[in-house]
Structures are given as C-alpha cells and as structure tokens.
Amino acid sequence: MSHNRWNLLPPATVRPEDIGSGFPPLLIQLLYNRGVSRPEDFRPFLASDRSLLGDPFLLPDMQKATDRIFRALHSGETIGIYGDFDADGITSTATLVQGLSLLGGKTVPYIPHRQTEGHGLTIAVLKKLQEEGVSLVITVDCGVTDAAEVKQAKNIGLDIIITDHHSPLNEIPEALAVIDPKLKGSAYPFMHLAGVGVAFKLLQALFRGTGKEEQIDAVLDLVAIGTIADMSAPLGENRYFINEGLKWMNTNPRPAIRALINQTRLEAGKLDANSIGWVIAPCLNAAGRLADGLTGYKLLITASEPEAQELAVWLAGKNEERQKLTSSTLLRAREQVIARGLPPLLITADREYPMGIAGLVASRLTEEFYHPSIVIHTADAVCHASCRSIAEFDIIAALNKCSRYFSRYGGHAQAAGFTMPMKDLPRLEEELSALVAEQLKGIELRPHLDIDAQLILPDLGGDTYKTTQMLAPFGHGNPVPIFLSRGVELVERRTMGSGGEHLRMKLKQGRTVWDCVAFRLRDHMTEIAPRMDIVYNLEVGRWNGKEQLRLNILDFKKSS
C-alpha cells in the first residue's frame, strides 16, 4: 500500500484546439487543476502582470477608509499603525508606514509583544497611542476579531480602521471601516490576500485618488515577503505581488534584503519564492517568536546600511536559536502525543513550551501524524494555544463552537490560536476532542497527494520541466506539479544523506533512465520492488557545482 492516498485529478474539459497555439495539453491540464478553467484566464495567470490586480474599492468600507485617511493627511493628524509580530504583520506595518510617508503622512508604528501582549488590539496600547497624539489607528493583519477593544477605543475618542484577512467572528467590530475580503457580503473577487495584501489594497486606493498609483510599486518587495511568509495561495493577484516583489528584490534590493543575503547562503540577484519562504521570512519571524517583532520592522524600514547589517546579524542569530528550540520542543511534544495513543485530536500542554514556537511545533505534529494538533503553553491562570489542522477538519469552525471558553481567539480553517483561563482547559479538551472524533469518524487519516497527470518516463524530456515552471511561483493552492508513472523498473538503489535517511535510485521505463531521490523514505526501503508505481515531481538537483534534472519521489508502491 502507498503511504499517502493518491488522487489522480480528472482530465481538463478544455481542448487544445479550443484555445489555439502556445498551450500544450499538459499546460492546459495543469492550469485546469489549479482552477484556471476558462481559456481567457490562461494568459493573465501565466503573465502574472497588473491585469490580475482587483479594484480596491470592491473591498468593504474602502471608500469610508480613504475618506478618513485623506482627512487625516490634510489636517496633519498622527496616524497609528497597529500591526502583528509575525512576518506578515511586520511587512504589513512597514508597507503602510512607507506608503503613507510617500503621501506626507505622519505615522507611529506599533508591533505588540507576543509574550506580554499577544495577537490583536489591547486597550492599554490604544490609550498609550492616544497619549502620544494619535487620533486615527489603522490595524494591519489584525483587528477583525477585536470587537470589545474597538468599542473601548471608540469610547475614548479614537477612530479605528481595520485592515485584516483573518476570518471574522459573528460580531463585527464597530470600527469606522472594516476592510477584509472574508467579510460576509464582500464583493471582492479574491479571498486569499495576506494581511500585507489588504494593506497594499488600501494604499492602492489612496494613491489612485492622487493619480500616483505607480509610486506604490516601491513596497511590492514587502508585499511579496509577507504574502509568501503567510503561505497565502500564489493565485490571482498574489502572483503579481510575488513576481513583481521578487523583481524589486533582485534588481533594487533595500538595505534589509542586502543585509539578510550577507547573513545567509542566498545569492544576490537570484532570490525566488523558496529564498523568501525558507530563509528571509524565518529570520523576520524569529524576532517575534523569541523577542520583539519591532526589530524585524526596524530592519525592513531602515535606509542605513550599517544599521541593517547590525539588525540582520541579530535576527540571524535569533533564527538559529529558534531552530534549536523548535527541535527540542518538538521532541518533547511528540513523546507526549505518542504516549496518549495518537487520538484523533493531538493535544499537548506544558509550562516549558515557548509561546513563540508553539505554532511551528503544532505544524510539525500535524504534518507527521496527519491529525489536527494543538500545542499549549500553560501558566498559573491563563494558557495560550496554537492550532493546526488537516483538510478534513476546519479548526476555526470548531473553535467558534467553543467560543465561550476563550478570552481571545481567531485564525483560519487550518491554522488558529486562542487564549483562555487554565481552569477551563480540561472541559475544552473534552469538547474539542469529541468534535474531532465525530467529524473524522470513518475517515482514513492519511495525507493525500493530488496528482496532476499520469505520464510515462520517456515523456518527461524536452519541454516538460519548462512547462511546469510556467506556473511558478508555487505554494499552498498552487503546488509544484505532481505526476504518476506506473510500472517503472528499478535499476539501482542506495541510501544517501546524513545517517542515510534518504534514498537515491535509478528508474527505467522503455529505454529511458532517470536519476531519482526520495527524501526521508529510508524506512520504506524494504518496500522497494523490481517494478513500481511512483508519484513524483521534477526538480533540478545540484551536486558538486553541477545541475541535473531528476525525479523527486514523493511516494511509491509495488506495481500490481
């Protein structure tokens, strides 16, 4: 049996002869599998240009927000920008500060401290901003679930504009404007903006009103970083944000990017989505996870090369510390959930779990065991939790049903968090576990692989790899294309890597032989057969300075 459930996607209903030249059948199938089913949408998706940008005024309350901001700009008011401590929140804050400064605005940024303040608005901070002369607060990447705090701010005379991308709760804050594509009744055609994407749409609306819309291209590098870091689907206008932002970073990088390149193994001029997702974003996130997210903001906004270098050194060090802490905490959490017999909902709680990495640990548990996971930092009176889930279980919907327990909560279908009194934790565990057990009853809890097409190995030459790369950038919602080949012959196999945890093989079909790697599949070496069905993607392997196209084996089974 294969280690995953294999789901071969249905054939495209669009035929090549219906479209014209330039679209081979494989490319049509790949686009169709990603929801791009209308021929008129093919070229914009592949071009990833400004044609993908939606009208910002289709977002809820956009006109109200721009009217109030222009009034603040004209009267010289001080505007508070209230962000969040993760990379999306940090880039959102920097984006709005930089954009409003181009319009002559005076801003005061605020990034809350994860350990002492947590996610979202707090009235103490809002009062402090007011004491500093702030009369208008614009939230970025937060606020849509903070109805009580917004009401208190209104009572003390603060105007609040919310820009957010998280799922709203039943009670919508009574802010001057609430801009969120997920609001009920929103006419905006694209639901997958990151927090920084919503902040950009606000700037787009403001700059359109001044006739200087092209000037905001200068913040697209920040928008790209936040969008990738938040793992927002690289579909729709996110494709434009990522591609254009990468162009800016590769041709005209700000001091922050140059400094981070110097502190890592990245190469100037060759940054891609993987460079951001695996190197730059974790460095920015490390500040908010282990210390103060304001450091990441300062790095992004500084024009000083020496300051950028100093901040980048500190962030790179914090990221190394975060990596070690994640490994040790994961080991402890993993032992706990295994000791509990791997129930449908994995819950692990400990006073020693650092709040800043609970989400990372929950993600690793869910990835390994394919169960919804909750990792909880406990204290004497209050606990803080990070939740991660699987496609078959909507975690935010489950939290909505248990909302009476929480002092604060929010998130998405597959990633959420909450804060609550310790005394209620046993009852919450019981209720959530029952919800998960009921909803997942009868479902085989194995991850599934959506397979784009079935091919034979001789078909993989020529332009196949080039065709797959036309869909980049890849990510959640637009994965690297996955293929299935049946009945391939084993020519050679061996282990590789530190401790031999990976496999290297040569596989043959017809007269074609391919080099293959299978990462972290050594434990399944005994299941390798003379003839196999394999699921894989195409990748460029780099070894001893040479590049070679190879198959990255994701799963395999003996051919029937």
Contacts of 92 (CB under 8 A, 6+ apart): 83, 84, 140, 141, 163, 194, 195, 196, 198, 199, 226
**Per-residue pLDDT at 269 exceeds 90:** yes
Closest to 333 measured CA to CA, from 303, 311, 358, 304: 358
CB 110 within 8 A of CB 82: yes
Task: Check residue 89 and give left, alpha or beta (phi > 0: left; psi -120 to 50: alpha).
Answer: alpha
Closest to 96 measured CA to CA, from 165, 237, 188, 197: 197
CB 495 within 8 A of CB 526: no
* pLDDT, tens digit, 9 for 90 and up, residues 321-361: 999 999 999 999 999 999 999 999 999 999 999 988 999 99
Residue 498 confidence (pLDDT):
73
Residue 15 confidence (pLDDT):
75
CB 199 within 8 A of CB 95: yes
Task: Check residue 113 and give left, alpha or beta (phi > 0: left; psi -120 to 50: alpha).
Answer: beta
346, containing H or E segment: strand 346-350
Residue 521 confidence (pLDDT):
83
Per-residue H/E/C for 432-489: HHHHHHHHCCCCCCCCEEEECEECCHHHHCCCHHHHHHCCCCCECCECCCCEEEEEEE
| Rounded mean pLDDT, 464-482 | 93
What phi, psi does 406 have (nearest 5°)?
A: -95, 140
Structure tokens at 90: 């940090």
How far apart are alpha carbons 475 and 102 in whole angstroms?
32
C-alpha radius of gyration, the chain, whole number: 24
* pLDDT, tens digit, 9 for 90 and up, residues 221-254: 999 999 999 999 999 999 999 999 999 999 999 9
Structure tokens at 54: 């939606």
* pLDDT, tens digit, 9 for 90 and up, residues 123-158: 999 999 999 999 999 999 999 999 999 999 999 999
How far apart are alpha carbons 180 and 253 in whole angstroms?
30
Closest to 275 measured CA to CA, from 331, 311, 228: 228
Closest to 365 measured CA to CA, from 334, 339, 341: 334
CB 110 within 8 A of CB 138: no
Q: Where residue 410 falls among pLDDT bands split at 50, 70, 90? A: confident
Closest to 147 measured CA to CA, from 165, 171, 123, 125: 171
Tell me which DSSP letter residue 138 carries: E
Number of Cβ atoms within 10 Å of the Cβ of 33: 22
Residue 547 confidence (pLDDT):
83
Structure tokens at 23: 């679209």
Exposed, middle or buried by CB within 10 Å (0-12, 13-18, 19+), for 478?
Answer: buried
CA dihedral sign, ordered 548, 553, 557, 559:
negative
Tell me which DSSP letter residue 556 carries: E
Structure tokens at 95: 């984006």
How far apart are alpha carbons 340 and 349 in whole angstroms?
12
| Rounded mean pLDDT, 185-212 | 95
Residue 279 confidence (pLDDT):
93
Share of the chain above pLDDT 90, in %: 80
CA 188-191-197 angle, to 5 degrees, is: 90
**Per-residue pLDDT at 1 exceeds 60:** no
Contacts of 392-400 with C-beta under 8 Å, sequence gap 24+, read 392/439, 392/440, 392/443, 392/445, 393/436, 393/439, 393/440, 396/167, 398/432, 398/435, 398/436, 400/169, 400/170
CB 502 within 8 A of CB 518: yes
CB 101 within 8 A of CB 107: yes
| Rounded mean pLDDT, 200-217 | 92
Residue 548 confidence (pLDDT):
87
Share of the chain above pLDDT 70, in %: 98
| Rounded mean pLDDT, 84-112 | 96
* pLDDT, tens digit, 9 for 90 and up, residues 44-57: 999 999 999 999 99
For strands 106-110 and 483-496, give the pairing.
unpaired
Residue 20 confidence (pLDDT):
66
CA 11-16-20 angle, to 5 degrees, is: 155
Which of 1-5, 69-73, 80-84, 166-170 shows the lowest per-residue confidence on average (mean pLDDT)? 1-5
Residue 420 confidence (pLDDT):
96
**Per-residue pLDDT at 556 exceeds 60:** yes
266: three-class secondary structure by DSSP:
coil
Residue 439 confidence (pLDDT):
95
Q: Half-sphere exposure of residue 178, counting CA atoms within 13 Å on the CB side?
A: 22
| Rounded mean pLDDT, 398-406 | 95
| Rounded mean pLDDT, 313-327 | 93
Distances (CA, A) of 137 to 79, 133, 224, 482: 6, 11, 24, 45
Which of 327-331, 457-461, 519-523 shows the lowest per-residue confidence on average (mean pLDDT)? 519-523
Give the residue with greater pLDDT, 246 vs 448.
246
374: three-class secondary structure by DSSP:
strand
Residue 287 confidence (pLDDT):
82
Residue 2 confidence (pLDDT):
58
**Per-residue pLDDT at 21 exceeds 70:** no
Residue 169 confidence (pLDDT):
87
Residue 129 confidence (pLDDT):
96
User: Mind listing the domains of the chain with CATH numbers?
Assistant: 5-40+448-558 (2.40.50.460), 52-217 (3.90.1640.30), 340-439 (3.10.310.30)
**Per-residue pLDDT at 292 exceeds 90:** no
Mean pLDDT over each residue of the chain, to the nearest integer:
93
How far apart are alpha carbons 319 and 265 in whole angstroms?
14
Residue 206 confidence (pLDDT):
97
- In 44-179, the DSSP E strands lie at 78-82, 106-110, 134-140, 159-163, 177-179
What phi, psi does 334 have (nearest 5°)?
A: -65, -40
412: three-class secondary structure by DSSP:
coil
Number of Cβ atoms within 10 Å of the Cβ of 104: 9
Distance of CA 525 to the CA centre of its chain: 33
Structure tokens at 58: 């289709």
